[in-house]
Amino acid sequence: MSKKTYSALLFIFILITSCVQNDSTDTASKTAVIEETSTQKREVPFEVSIDEVKDYVPDITVVIPHDKAFKEEMTFLGFSLNSLIDSLVADLENTDNLQATFVCTDGYKPSIPLSEVAKHEGYITYQKSREQLKVWADSIKERIPPYYVTWKTDTLNQDLINPYGVTSLRIEMIGFNYDKILPAKVKEDSLLSKGFKLYEKMCMKCHAINQEGGVLGPELNVPQNITEYRSKDFFFSFIKSPMSYRYNSKMPPIPLPDEKLGLIYDYLEAMKEFKVLEED
């Protein structure tokens, strides 16, 4: 276990146990542990395993009125995403520019700003109720574990993410990795910047640029940029209908007009002059 992970887990443990310890607890001993922990300041970014934090939070039954993935009312076992994040960032002075990134078994890495998490009632779930478990399709049973993120409020909001197969939670600065995926000289109001922002929203959770991003889909810049071996026409056609090219493609159709797809393509084309390849 890494030092950062250990510090985060120890902080959660103290936070939770301090609420349930009785009056017979040795005050001096507890104070010593808290003081020792307070010296272990975490640095952003840091990542915690859900398996490791699960044992320190109480299980609850969560009823989701309109689960976006299942498109019906669902009952799960799980724990509060909001409470977990609050405990993880409690010793950080400023959380305004932080985001939560969920690392999934299939390489999917979606992110959501902590400010957006705070507006909704989110849960990390790991088991459906026994009464409903038998109606799960086999394909869903295979994909959902070990953890699934869902929301009790505003679950039809398209901006909320519902990742499944989640293994860990990463707290990081919004844009912490921009130095590898957007050249510093690019102006904020430029077309290239607009293309990057569309790429970040629509593509980055599955694809990487210079090894930064998701790994569910292929790397798009190193060692060869996708525009070096795929034409613009092919790019447009494939994105609109991946299943027309690849049977059982994991990539969904991207509902963007040609103008916005063109901005993404132009960003990717520009990145072929800005390659960063770090060998393992």
Taking the CB of residue 142, how many other CB atoms lie within 10 A of it?
10
> CA–CA separation, 218 vs 103, rounded Å?
16
CB atoms within 10 A of CB 93: 5
The pLDDT of residue 75: 86
CA distance 88 to 94: 13
Domain boundaries of the chain, sorted by first residue = 3-173, 178-273
Question: For residue 121, how many C-alpha atoms fall within 13 Å in the half-sphere facing its CB?
Answer: 10
% of the chain beyond a pLDDT of 70: 76
Distance CA 25, CA 3 (A): 27
Distance CA 53, CA 12 (A): 8
Name the residue with higher pLDDT: 240 or 19: 240
Banded model confidence at residue 33, pLDDT cuts 50, 70, 90: very low
Per-residue model confidence (pLDDT) at position 57: 78
What are the angstrom distances between the C-alpha of 265 and each of 35, 39, 108, 136, 236? 52, 47, 21, 39, 9
Q: In terms of DSSP H, where are the helices of the chain?
A: 3-17, 27-38, 50-54, 81-88, 114-117, 130-133, 138-143, 178-181, 191-202, 232-240, 258-270
Measured between alpha carbons, how far apart are the two ends of the chain, in Å?
21
Kindly report the CA angle at 204 between 274 and 169, in degrees rounded to 5? 120
Tokens of 136: 């799960």
pLDDT above 90 for 219: yes
Residue corresponding to tokens 């932080």: 98
Would the pLDDT of 162 be above 50? yes
In 10 A of CB 139, how many CB atoms?
Answer: 8
Kindly report the three-state secondary structure assignment for every residue of 23-85.
CCCCHHHHHHHHHHHHCCCCCCCEEEEHHHHHCCCCCEEEEEEEECCCCEEEEEEEEEHHHHH
Mean per-residue pLDDT for 181-195? 79
Q: 91 to each of 102, 109, 173, 267, how far by Cα in Å?
A: 21, 25, 15, 38
- 38 pLDDT exceeds 60? no
Q: Which CATH architecture describes the domain 178-273?
A: Orthogonal Bundle (1.10)
pLDDT of residue 144: 82
Q: What is the mean pLDDT of residues 14-19?
A: 42
From the number of C-beta atoms within 10 Å of its C-beta (0-12, 13-18, 19+), residue 209 rates as: buried
Q: Which residue has the higher pLDDT, 75 or 157?
A: 75
Question: How high is the pLDDT of residue 133?
Answer: 57
Q: Is residue 116 within 8 Å of 97, Cβ to Cβ?
A: no
Q: ω before 146 within 30° of 0 (cis)?
A: yes
- pLDDT score recorded for residue 6: 46
